[in-house]
Structure formats: structure tokens, C-alpha cells
Amino acid sequence: MDIHLYNTATRRKELFAPLDPENVRMYVCGPTVYDRAHLGNARPVLVFDILYRLLKTQYPRVTYVRNFTDVDDKINARAAESGRSIGEITAETSQWFLDDMGAIGALEPDHMPRATAYIAEMVEMIAGLIEGGFAYAREGHVLFRVREYARYGALSGRSVDDMIAGARVEVAPYKEDPMDFVLWKPSDDQTPGWDSPWGRGRPGWHIECSAMAKALLGDRFDIHGGGNDLMFPHHENEIAQSCCANGTEQMATVWMHNEMLQVEGKKMSKSLGNFFTVRDLLEQGVPGEVIRFVMLSTHYRKPMDWTEKKRAEAEATLRKWYGQVEGADAGQVPQAVMQALADDLNTPQAIGEMHQLAQNSDASALLASLRLVGLVADGVPAWAAATDADLSAYEAAFSTVRAEAMATKDFSKLDAMKQMLVAAGVEVKMRKDGVDLVAGPAFDPSKLEDL
């Protein structure tokens, strides 16, 4: 099956053609581990989890690498303020990340390298860049000469001069050019450091991913992904140093970037009081499958808005679907679902196709589709265990009343019926072509007697 992906580097959707069809190779920038993952951190994890699952259906081997940044100034600051060791903090927060991502159905990548385990590879790459004239050592620092890489800025579509004018670049006396970025920096006695030809120090952030990707995937690989906030400077810098160090025209063939997340239409921030972690939602009783469903309901290249309304609708839909597939045997994933995912990971369209499967009572195809997109693992989750309630007669009656209301523009009867259903603990989700009624956890059938 042909897979088409939007390539940020070329700004168009392209037919995916791996360098080696026997081993598709993908690198995704992972977390800096000093705290819990907030909801926005989960988006790239789920986007590339879907891509990983899709690729595994088409190719004999997929090598997926997602790193942990465990040497960083934020981690150093957290250690200083807490009095705990850096190793203790990063071990704990890395496991938190894996637990939380597992709770929303993300498969673990094939490799999860930690930056601190690849210092030797970083030093070797930096030494090669100096030898090639692409980098220079000054006052314990090593910096990359941006103007030595002619294609710098191609990914983000900016010229170097424009970037200097519009960016907050660090001006330092040891820099030859304001745009030059750090490959290695000195460490004091209180800061983690490693011996190097340029003195005791630690790597810059960008060189970490270049060295780990080269070690695990080679000089060139198929797909590099991450949030669009990483496009500049992180990914731009990765490309420059990797291509110069490895003598290649490309680092990755396809660059993919997901859009950011909002909450109730606003950017998530602590100052607005709408900042929360994945763990916060899980502890509030929001199932991981519901978090995943809401995330997948928006295309990855569009801003995703988390709302309470979407959460409630997602839970109602999943309860109904799980009730339909419980006890069923999985069949084949329908071609329509596969084609939606193969069209640049169009998860909203795939979910639309699954609504159709549910409407047609095709439990085996629905179950297969739920498994493919990670909404079912071994069986129906306990939180969605089916009740004995058969609400099909109420769905039919509600649909009839709704049709009458649309025709007469008198919605009083429809509103009254909806209020009675909600009061009985029934979740009501209206669609263009019908309605889904799902018995929620507080369902009380005695309250439906008057209806």
C-alpha cells in the first residue's frame, strides 16, 4: 500500500520510499527529563506512534529511535533546587514518562538512548567537525560555523541574516558570528561534565541527537520527527552538523512536524491556570484511551484543542464501541481505514470510517481498527465494561424527535428528552446522521421510565 507523508523539507506531500525497504528507520526527538510530561508533550508521542504502527503493517522491519535528554541546564537547576542527584532525578522522570505514555497506548520505541551514554560519540563528531573546518574551539567552548553550511535555514525557510535580525541570538565574545551555536561548553565543579580535548565540559543540546541518530540509524535515515517548535533552531542545527560531519546531502529524507496543543482555545500555560500533565488527567479519572482518542481526532498538522466537551464525547463514543466489540474476534482492518492513515496519517478520517463500522455493526472490522490505532490492546478496558442497558430503542426515538425538531424548528421536546437522558446517566452524542446513547458510570435505568 502506498503511504504519502507531508515532508516539511520540501513543503509537499510525497510518496514514502524508504532507503532500505527491509529496514525503515525513524528518529523522533524525545523529552528532556526533569518533570512530568504535560499534555502537549504527549502529542508527538502519539503522532509518531501511529506512524510506527502503520509502517509495521507494511514493512518487515521498522527501527524507531526516541531519545531521552538527560544532560541539560533545566535538569541541573532542578537538582540544585531539590538537593537530589541528577541521576536520581532523570531515572525517576524517565520512568514517569514511559508510564504515562504507556497509559495512553504508546508503544515503546526499539531504542531509547540516553544522551549521557553517547558522550564519546558526540566528542568524536565534534572533533571531526573541527577537523573539517566546520567548527572551532574557543575559551573552552566549541561552536559550529553556521555560514560554512550553505543550506542552513532551508528547513525552516529562513535566511541566516533574517534569523539574526528576528531571533534572540546569544552574543558572546568567543563567537566568530552571532549565529554560531554551541557544540560543547565548559562545566564547573558543581555541573556534570566529561573530559574532552577542549577541557572538562558537556555537550550542547543539538549535537546529542545528531550523534545518537548516527550511532543507531546511520549517516542517513528515512524519517525525522518532532513538534514544530523544534524546527528552528534544533532541527536546523541537527541537519547542519550531521551533513557536515557525515559528508551527506541529507540527514533524513522526510521531516515531519506536528502542530501544538491548546486547552479550551487558549495556549496552555501555568499563568492561565490551564496547564496540566498527562498524569493529572489520569488521576482525575480520564482514561488513557480517551486522551488518545481526543488527540487523534485532530490531524497532526493542525493545532489540537483539548476541551471538556471533546473529552466527554470521546468517552461516550468509546463506551459504545467497546460494548459493540466485546467478545468479538478481530477481522481485517478495512481498506478505507488503512487508506486514511496512509494519507499523511489522517486519523480524523480513520475515526470517521470507524464511526461507519460501528453504525453498520461490523464488530470484527471495528475491533481490528481499534487495535491498529492503539485504542484496544488485549481486551476492552475495565472502565468501559459493558452494562446490560440496551438503548437502541431510545436512540431510534431520539432520532425521530430530532428529525421533527429540525423540520418544525421547535426544539422543546428534543431538549426535554435530552435532559431526561442525561439525568438518567446517559451520555448523548449527536452526529449529523444520528445519535449515540451510552450508559455512563452513573446510569440509572429507573429514571428512564417516564421517558
pLDDT by position in tens, the chain (length 451): 999 999 999 999 999 999 999 999 999 999 988 888 899 999 999 999 999 999 999 999 999 999 998 888 888 888 888 888 888 888 988 999 999 999 999 999 999 999 999 999 999 999 999 999 999 999 999 999 999 999 999 999 987 877 766 555 667 889 999 899 999 999 988 888 999 999 999 999 999 999 999 999 999 999 999 999 999 999 999 999 999 999 999 999 999 999 999 899 888 877 777 888 999 999 999 999 999 999 999 999 999 999 999 999 999 999 999 999 999 999 999 999 999 999 999 999 999 999 999 999 999 999 999 999 999 988 889 888 655 577 888 988 999 999 999 899 999 999 999 988 988 888 888 777 778 888 776 677 778 877 7
Strands (E), 214-300: 221-227, 252-258, 261-263, 266-267
pTM of the model: 0.85
Contact 89, 75 (CB under 8 A): yes
Residue 243 annotated as binding? Answer: no
Q: What's the rounded Cα separation, in Å, for the pair 276 and 269? A: 9
Q: Is 238 assigned to a binding site?
A: yes
Measured between alpha carbons, how far is 262 from 304 in angstroms, rounded to an integer? 6
Report whether CATH 3.30.1330.10 matches the domain 17-258.
Answer: no
324 vs 369: CA distance, rounded Å: 13
Confirm whether residue 209 is marked as ligand binding.
yes
Residue range 262-372 in CATH 3.30.70.1560: no
Q: How far apart are CA 27 and CA 212, in angstroms?
A: 9
Spatial separation of the C-alpha atoms in residues 261 and 267, rounded to whole Å: 7
Tell whether residue 447 is among the known ligand binding residues: no
Is 108 annotated to bind ligand? no
d(CA 155, CA 240): 10
Domain-wise residue ranges, the chain: 17-258, 262-372, 383-448
